[in-house]
Structure 1
Amino acid sequence: MWSLLGAGLCLRVALAPWVGGQSFDLNLFKSWALAAAENFSGFYLHGSSDYPPLYIYILYLVGKAVSLPALGSYFTLLIKLPSIAADLLTAALLYRLAAKHLSVETDLLLSAFYLFSPAVFINSTFWGQVDSFFTWVVVVAVWLLTEKRVYGSAALFAAAVLMKPQGIIFLPVLLFELVRLKSVKRFFIAAFTALATALVIILPFSFRQSPLWIVKLFAGTIGEYPYASVNAYNFFSLIGANYKPDTTVMLFFSYYTWGMIFIVLITLFTGFLYYRGRSAKHAFLAALIQIAGVFTFSVSMHERYLFPAVALSLLAFIFLKDKRLLWLSVGLSATSFINTATVLYGMTRGGVPYNVPMFLTSLLNVVLFIFLAKAGWDLAAGTNKKEDALRTK
């Protein structure tokens, strides 16, 4: 496993400086890193960043590192390095959990599949984006739920939200587990832990700011792309609504309203399956359904928002041992890679054009979610029947 991780690291470090990536995003991260290193507490006062505060801590360290003469020429690599490290940490977690629940051969194969997946490579090493780091925070938060460490999980869920607004998509999983535990005390302690974590992350940036500055930041970030789809190969791109205003009406409701309806329905479906499953081992499956469902059927989705589904599908397989989840990991890895590569290398002004790759990949994502929903239903029902049978005996 150490050889596997070493190979993954060396390959990434060798490629990262020479692959140009997405120049706009890389230059933005570089400017934020320098700004944070120069004036950390005043970062949001004097800048125009739309990112929540958590990743600014990482960029601050990068900005400080690049000021050293020996590291000044490695700025691009240093910007990509946190996500590269997160790739390795996620692969190591896959190995650890697979070794606990599956065979030795399987744990190495699953780790290798993730570590060398084109979908993972293109996001961190090529593009230079931060989805790998966000995914690592999310998967550790969900893993802690399976370990009955609810308070640590609540802290990391709060951290995920304060890194990317998409973290909100995963919050219902924490709520479902707290409801399953039926403990008012745990619920309030978890809520307090999440709030305290958020305050610790936000506080250094809050001096000389209005009390609701973080709320305004989130509102601005969420409302920045008022479109049915923002190059995400999903249901709305399938019907030709990529980069169409989310106020456009379809069957009595706007795209935005349909997106909200789908989010509510997907969350209720996930909650019902979690209730039927009666176990925290369904947490990764619930997180997978949340991200895959919201990406596929909600509005304002970007091409990279499906990225956590690759790791979550593998982790769900480890805990539930259903081979359909392995097929889903392959399918979601393929669609995530195609979507990301098309946007990274083929996007024109105004979004990716409606063409055959968009149509087929969007259709495949819809089909994969239906397949996932059916697998989730079967797994929750199967667990329910087994527990009822044991109780009867």
Structure 2
Amino acid sequence: MDNVNTMSTNKKSWFFEDGKPVSRNMFIITGTVVILIRLLLTTIPSYQVDMGGYRAWSLYLAENGPVGFYERYHVVYAPAYMYLLWITGIIAKAFSVNASTHAFLIKLWAVASELVGAYLIYKIGKKYKKERLGFILGVVYALNPGVFFNSSIWGQFDSIPATLLVGMIYAFSVNRKMTAVVLYAIAVLTKPQSALLTPLGILFYKELFDFSNITKEKIVKSIKETLVAICVGLSCYFIVIYPFYYHTDLYERMKSTSVVKDFIAESIDYFWWMPNLYLTSVEDYPYATANAFNLWTLLGGQPVKDSNIFFILSYKTWGTILFLICIGIAFAYLLKKRKSDFAMYFASFFILSSAFTFITRMHERYLLPAIIFLTICVLWEKWMAIPLTVLSVCVTANHWYIYDLSWKDVFWLRNYDPVAMPFAFLTVLVVLFGAGFIIKQILPAKKN
């Protein structure tokens, strides 16, 4: 009997005594098992529409390099991921691998990013003396169906910018501002949706919000850091974009026989290139929702043009208004809780999930990055495992249903789809939970 009680106590202490470290053997054995499971899952056939494009782009880059790539193909993705496809294409060509092996190699980049994300969760837990909980959450994240369906099965790479953005916040938390700037820039250059977390830039200046202790030296330091950050960000942009750059219509309209004017025109065009690529890509699916289980699924927006009127205003206008309200709530929260690392991760979850829920033209995959941020929040509030579970179920269902339909040559949901509706409702509830939690944190506590 005593042995049973001792065993029970040991089990309980392993999970709840966060201060105790994870043994090296436990780390290696669990890590190996997780990696093997993920590799096995990665052998499952991909979503062929996306993977067919990735393989073609990968082989083209291997054979021809980046020059003329965006002119030859209608590519809606930013250039950073193209470098990974380029490397994969070189490997595939060198070893003459077949199509399925090539797809497997392409998927590995996102799988690797999720394993790095799991390790970051562990590191964050360790930083706050919750190493064992961080370890458990890292494993849970790596084996979360919503996460591995996106990469190991579908073949997408939404987890790559998600991991970079978590790294950005972690870098902020350890006062590595320039590292944070680099990670943010690369995330945006991987998927422009990463720019949704721009409000977190307020953390760059959190020292200045302590008005009682503000000094001239702090102001000067912030100005210098801002100028350096701008230079670092522009350098990342220049390095990543340069091999793929080509003149847009803007340059053709602005170019001149004058060397100086032509230089100015090309400089402006160079930094317009990326926004132009993104703005062009969002016109491909101008619908209130593009297979995303969100608010507009509930309100009959699949697939209805977002310029259509829905109760006085267009879907697009309503989506913008609702998202800006959410941004305002998140910004107020970050201002009030600027010293709280938990607030950074929760605000990130809220911004990303509200963007998916309210902004029009969203795809089924765009809710995925919210998972890692809410997983991290469980380090502080264990009960947040409940909304995390709901969020994960919604992401998994959205991926699985669209993936399953594709094998029947069905690529667009019908309006008010009976499978989509309940999960869209749950997604909206998760976002409302986030808004309610933040508002409660912002409002002054009631005095007894």
* Shared fold (TM-score, shorter chain, > 0.5): yes
Cα distance between partner residues in 1 of 2:373 and 2:134: 15
Tell me the residue number matched to 1:170. 197
Tell me the residue number matched to 1:389. none
For residue 226 of structure 1, give the secondary structure of its aligned residue in structure 2.
Answer: coil
Deviates more, 1:198-207 or 1:285-294: 198-207
Choose which of 182, 207, 210 in structure 2 pairs with 1:181: 207
Choose which of 230, 235, 252 in structure 2 pairs with 1:196: 235
User: Where in structure 2 are the equivalents of 1:276-287 lying within 5 Å?
Assistant: 276-281=336-341, 282-287=343-348
Q: Deviations over 1:71-95 (max 9, x none)?
A: 5562121011101111111111111
The answer to whether the 8 Å contact 2:402/2:411 transfers is no
The answer to whether the 8 Å contact 2:125/2:132 transfers is no
Choose which of 267, 271, 276 in structure 2 pairs with 1:216: 276
Tell me the residue number matched to 1:23. 48
> Unaligned regions of 5+ residues in structure 2, if any?
1-26, 209-221, 252-268
Q: Deviations over 1:333-363 (max 9, x none)?
A: 1111111111111252433552333111111
Tell me the residue number matched to 1:267. 327
Cα distance between partner residues in 1 of 2:435 and 2:383: 11
How far did residue 191 of structure 1 move?
Answer: 2.5
The answer to whether the 8 Å contact 1:231/1:352 transfers is no
Cα distance between partner residues in 1 of 2:334 and 2:155: 35
Is structure 2 residue 122 aligned with structure 1 residue 122? Answer: no
The answer to whether the 8 Å contact 2:289/2:361 transfers is yes
Cα 1:236–1:207 change in 2 (3 A) is closer
Tell me the residue number matched to 1:370. 432
User: Where in structure 2 are the equivalents of 1:95-174 lying within 5 Å?
Assistant: 95-174=122-201
Cα distance between partner residues in 1 of 2:403 and 2:372: 21
Cα distance between partner residues in 2 of 1:264 and 1:184: 28
The answer to whether the 8 Å contact 1:146/1:283 transfers is no
Amino acid at match of 1:186: E
Amino acid at match of 2:64: N
How far did residue 127 of structure 1 move?
Answer: 0.5
Choose which of 360, 372, 377 in structure 2 pairs with 1:316: 377
Choose which of 392, 396, 403 in structure 2 pairs with 1:344: 403
Tell me the residue number matched to 2:393. 334
> How many percent identity over aligned positions?
25
Cα distance between partner residues in 2 of 1:350 and 1:113: 31
Cα distance between partner residues in 1 of 2:41 and 2:150: 13
Tell me the residue number matched to 1:358. 420
Tell me the residue number matched to 2:306. 246
The answer to whether the 8 Å contact 1:314/1:326 transfers is yes
Cα distance between partner residues in 1 of 2:35 and 2:331: 38
For residue 178 of structure 1, give the secondary structure of its aligned residue in structure 2.
Answer: helix
Task: Tell me the C-alpha RMSD between the 2 structures.
Answer: 2.0
Tell me the residue number matched to 1:8. 34
Tell me the residue number matched to 2:217. none
Q: Deviations over 1:355-383 (max 9, x none)?
A: 333111111111111111222234456xx
The answer to whether the 8 Å contact 1:317/1:326 transfers is yes
Cα 1:352–1:62 change in 2 (3 A) is farther
For residue 356 of structure 1, give the secondary structure of its aligned residue in structure 2.
Answer: coil
Tell me the residue number matched to 2:66. 41
Cα distance between partner residues in 2 of 1:267 and 1:179: 18
Cα distance between partner residues in 1 of 2:323 and 2:230: 23
The answer to whether the 8 Å contact 1:165/1:222 transfers is no
For these two proteins, the number of residue pairs brought into alignment is: 379
Cα distance between partner residues in 1 of 2:130 and 2:362: 37
The answer to whether the 8 Å contact 1:144/1:153 transfers is yes
Tell me the residue number matched to 2:20. none
The answer to whether the 8 Å contact 2:61/2:89 transfers is yes
Amino acid at match of 1:362: A
Tell me the residue number matched to 2:215. none
Amino acid at match of 2:57: W
Is structure 2 residue 106 aligned with structure 1 residue 79? Answer: yes
Amino acid at match of 1:141: M
Cα distance between partner residues in 2 of 1:35 and 1:168: 29
The answer to whether the 8 Å contact 2:289/2:301 transfers is yes
Q: Deviations over 1:279-312 (max 9, x none)?
A: 1512111211110111111111111101011100
How far did residue 277 of structure 1 move?
Answer: 0.6
* TM-score, reference length from structure 2: 0.80
How far did residue 181 of structure 1 move?
Answer: 3.5
Tell me the residue number matched to 2:57. 32
Cα 1:249–1:70 change in 2 (3 A) is closer
The answer to whether the 8 Å contact 1:80/1:129 transfers is yes
Cα distance between partner residues in 2 of 1:346 and 1:72: 26
How far did residue 234 of structure 1 move?
Answer: 0.8
> Unaligned regions of 5+ residues in structure 1, if any?
386-393
Cα distance between partner residues in 2 of 1:260 and 1:30: 35
Tell me the residue number matched to 2:214. none
Cα distance between partner residues in 2 of 1:309 and 1:166: 12
